[in-house]
Amino acid sequence: MYIENIIQHIKQQQPLIHAITNYVTANDVANIILAIGASPIMADEVLEIEDITSMAQGLDVNLGTINQNRFAAIKKAGMTANQKHIPILLDPVGIGASRLRQQYVEELLEYIQFDVIRGNISEIKALYQHSKTKGVDANSIDQITKDNIEQVVCFVKEVAKTYHCIIAVSSAIDVIADEAKAYVIYNGHPMMSRITGSGCMLSGLCTAFMSVNQQEKLDAIALAFMCHGIAGEKAYERMENNHSGNATYRNDLIDAIYLMSIDDIKEKARYEIY
């Protein structure tokens, strides 16, 4: 993995990332895209969606606060991105929480080829096995541990093969895989689950990383996860030192991405390759 190249490409090219994300977290997603050196645009009006997507270098679509109009915009944006060879990430938030979300994702997969599908392990299982989830959070029985990591890696590779894309699973232990290779990443902090939008921000970050590193997308997504996890660790250190709370932690997380150095990544990244 050429860390310097991947990071430098973002800083130099400043890619435009079209994020159709949920309204709960849109501001945070925009800010973390800016923090890494890319440029966000947040548009979901179906009448302009083709124009907006066409000028972007990456498309991040998120089902967090889905409705019929937003779904129509996502579908049209995704089809436009495929036509223009613009990489796309799907964040199927809460897919197992309702039949509507499952139907929307199935329709998107029918019409659009995604480069990356990113979610928690329960969402990925719901995608693949049509199982239920408890809203947008991972079910406790689905937690990834050192004891079950090999089985999870095999499962994620199988899902990646089925959908012909990278599957990126965020958890206490992250797994990012295509059908042949997987990164298992141990960075991050439990405090990241105590703020709204950590996963949405990660999806925006992943889209920025892969948008300018299309020849090494798997490496780029894995590096985005490492940066996000390291930022979560650094933000918690600052939170403890300042005796602050979760709202400040969210800002410190974004700051840590902005201040992230190559040395930080080389010193703090903890991962294995399967």
- Kindly report the CA angle at 3 between 155 and 150, in degrees rounded to 5? 20
Identify the pLDDT of residue 192. Answer: 94
Q: How far apart, in whole angstroms, are the C-alpha atoms of residue 84 and residue 152? A: 34
Most confident segment among 54-58, 140-144, 239-243: 54-58
pLDDT at 134 over 60: no
22 burial via Cβ count (<10 Å: 0-12, 13-18, 19+): buried
Q: Provide the token pair at 102.
A: 């499952």
Identify the pLDDT of residue 140. Answer: 47
Residue 115 gets which letter from DSSP? S
Identify the pLDDT of residue 46. Answer: 95
Q: What are 201-258's pLDDT values in tens digits?
A: 999 999 999 999 989 999 999 999 999 999 999 999 999 898 889 999 999 999 999 9
Average pLDDT value over all residues in the chain: 92
Q: Which of 62-66, 109-113, 249-253 has the lowest mean pLDDT?
A: 62-66
Identify the pLDDT of residue 135. Answer: 47
Of residues 7, 70, 72, 53, the one with CA closest to residue 210: 7
| Mean predicted confidence (pLDDT) in 50-65 | 96
pLDDT at 137 over 50: no
Task: Tell me which of 6 and 102 has the higher pLDDT.
Answer: 102
Q: How many secondary structure helices (H) and strands (E) does the chain include? A: 11, 9
Give the percent of the chain with pLDDT over 90.
82
